């Protein structure tokens, strides 16, 4: 029996790791159907996601994380030597594993693995999540056999690439997100909310957002007069936020206080959060694709410091379809925010139009599309 070996690489954030896990899961299923043994390994710095990767059948080969910036930065004096070291690690690790394919999600640490794969002439598949590709993705594309895109708008950036290499797949999402879903009313009850009152979900990305948390604190008293709120504040921000929100909640009537819940991080219950929400307020990173796949209206708040301003570009492309509204951090005010929320939640026609456009944008089968190409490659090699 042929053994399919797949190497994964990508920066150690949720936006990189969870898509890799989604592809790994689908590849395992397809390999079993094709009677292929499979060995999957992540080359990179998994950080807090080590256990998650291993639980999903992906072993770890640690590669030092480095980031080469396209602008002058004193940190390059440290990261350039680190990159050379990570390249040596990648060459050594891939030599002993010798995969059939390397699938790169980009981010810090991925470029060294791509270069090592190119040296050994290992087929390279690259996925780009943003409408404006990262420097790593653009550099990796020179060596790639396939380039998978989440946004069609990213294709022109790869204009020098053979068009047959480019596949519009969407962003890989874990199949667990779409199994055993509750009804929306039941999901609200599951989190302790009134099933008859609209629920606004606020998310600040996988690490949370202090600025969004501060903004919610200002908006909370007025927001809770009409709506319920479920808020992901971030692991590192939880204790500080708890002390800051306590005096605000204590000044509200008890029945109003019960309309608010906050938590460090949505993980296993993310699908239930998405199902329960009537409106989602979020950054416009990888969460955008989950919001779209669940067909939820949203207000997106781009992270200003995101590389190449990609979060704002993503939000603009998504908003142009009619699936969301955008609010920038410089426009933060309780009045503006409440007006935007009311415009969506209190208008069924607006809400349904946004939901319909979100569903058109969302692609639940992205991980399957990519894994089919991976297994096809293995079958061709076997033949």
CATH number of the domain encompassing residue 100: 3.40.50.2000
Both 159 and 186 in a single domain?
no
88 and 209 housed in the same domain: no
Q: Which residues pair with residue 41 across a beta bridge?
A: 7, 59
My answer on whether 159 and 304 are in the same domain is no
Judgement on whether residues 161 and 256 belong to the same structural domain of the protein: no
Q: What per-residue string of b and e applies to 324-349 under the rule 16 or more CB within 10 Å gives b?
A: bbbbeeeebebeebbebbeebbeeee
Residues 12 and 108: their CA atoms lie apart, in Å, by 8
Does 351 share its domain with 223? Answer: yes
Number of domains in the chain: 2
- Regarding whether 251 and 155 lie in a shared domain, the answer is no
In Å, how far are 139, 232, 260, 272, 353 from 276, measured between CA atoms?
40, 14, 14, 6, 18
Same domain, 74 and 169: yes
Q: Can you tell me the distance from the alpha carbon of 165 to that of 163, in angstroms, rounded to the nearest whole number?
A: 5
Check whether residue 194 and residue 151 sit in a common domain.
Answer: no
Predicted confidence pLDDT, tens digits, the chain (383 residues): 578 999 999 987 888 899 999 999 999 999 999 889 999 999 999 988 999 999 999 999 999 887 665 555 556 556 678 888 999 999 999 999 999 999 999 888 899 999 999 999 999 999 999 998 988 889 999 999 999 999 999 999 987 777 789 999 999 999 988 988 999 999 999 999 999 999 999 997 656 688 888 888 999 999 999 999 999 998 888 889 899 999 999 999 999 999 999 988 886 688 999 999 999 999 988 889 999 999 999 999 998 876 667 889 999 999 999 999 999 988 888 899 999 999 999 999 999 999 999 999 988 999 999 999 999 876 766 55
Answer yes or no: do 197 and 301 share one domain: yes
The residues with which 149 forms a beta bridge, in sequence order, are: 128, 168
The phi and psi torsions of 192 (rounded to 5 degrees) equal 85, 20
**Which domain covers residue 53, as residue numbers?**
3-173+364-382
**336 and 369, same domain (yes or no):** no
Give the SS3 label for residue 8: strand
The whole-number pLDDT of residue 206 equals 58
């Amino acid at each position: 029996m042929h053994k399919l070996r797949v190497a994964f690489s990508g920066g150690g954030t949720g936006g990189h790791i969870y898509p890799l896990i989604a592809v790994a899961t689908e590849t395992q299923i397809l390999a079993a159907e094709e009677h292929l043994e499979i060995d999957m390994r992540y080359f990179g710095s998994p950080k807090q996601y080590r256990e998650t990767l291993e639980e999903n059948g992906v072993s770890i080969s640690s590669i030092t994380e480095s980031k080469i910036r396209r602008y002058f930065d004193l940190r390059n004096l440290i990261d350039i030597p680190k990159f050379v070291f990570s390249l040596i690690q990648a060459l050594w690790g891939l030599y002993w594993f010798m995969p059939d394919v390397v699938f790169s999600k980009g981010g810090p640490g991925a470029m060294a693995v791509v270069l090592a794969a190119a040296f050994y002439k290992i087929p390279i598949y690259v996925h780009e999540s943003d409408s404006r590709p990262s420097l790593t993705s653009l550099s990796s594309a020179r060596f790639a056999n396939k380039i998978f895109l989440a946004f069609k708008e990213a294709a022109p950036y790869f204009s020098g690439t053979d068009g047959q290499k480019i596949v519009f797949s969407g962003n890989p999402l874990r199949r667990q997100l779409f199994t055993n879903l509750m009804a929306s009313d039941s999901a609200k009850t599951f989190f302790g909310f009134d099933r008859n009152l609209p629920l606004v979900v606020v998310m600040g990305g996988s690490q949370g957002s202090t600025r969004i948390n501060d903004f919610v604190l200002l908006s909370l008293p007025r927001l809770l007069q009409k709506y319920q709120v479920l808020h992901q504040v971030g692991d590192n921000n939880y204790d500080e936020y708890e002390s800051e929100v306590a005096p605000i909640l204590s000044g509200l009537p008890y029945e109003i206080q019960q309309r608010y819940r906050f938590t460090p991080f949505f993980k296993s219950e993310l699908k239930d959060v998405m199902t329960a929400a009537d409106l989602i307020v979020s950054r416009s990173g990888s969460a955008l694709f989950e919001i779209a796949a669940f067909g939820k209206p949203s207000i997106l708040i781009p992270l200003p410091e995101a590389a190449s301003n990609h979060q704002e570009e993503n939000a603009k492309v998504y908003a142009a379809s009619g699936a969301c509204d955008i609010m920038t951090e410089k426009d933060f005010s309780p009045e503006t925010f409440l007006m935007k929320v009311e415009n969506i939640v209190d208008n069924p026609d607006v809400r349904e139009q946004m939901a319909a456009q979100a569903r058109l944008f969302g692609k639940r089968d992205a991980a399957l599309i990519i894994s089919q190409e991976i297994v096809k490659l293995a079958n061709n090699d076997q033949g």
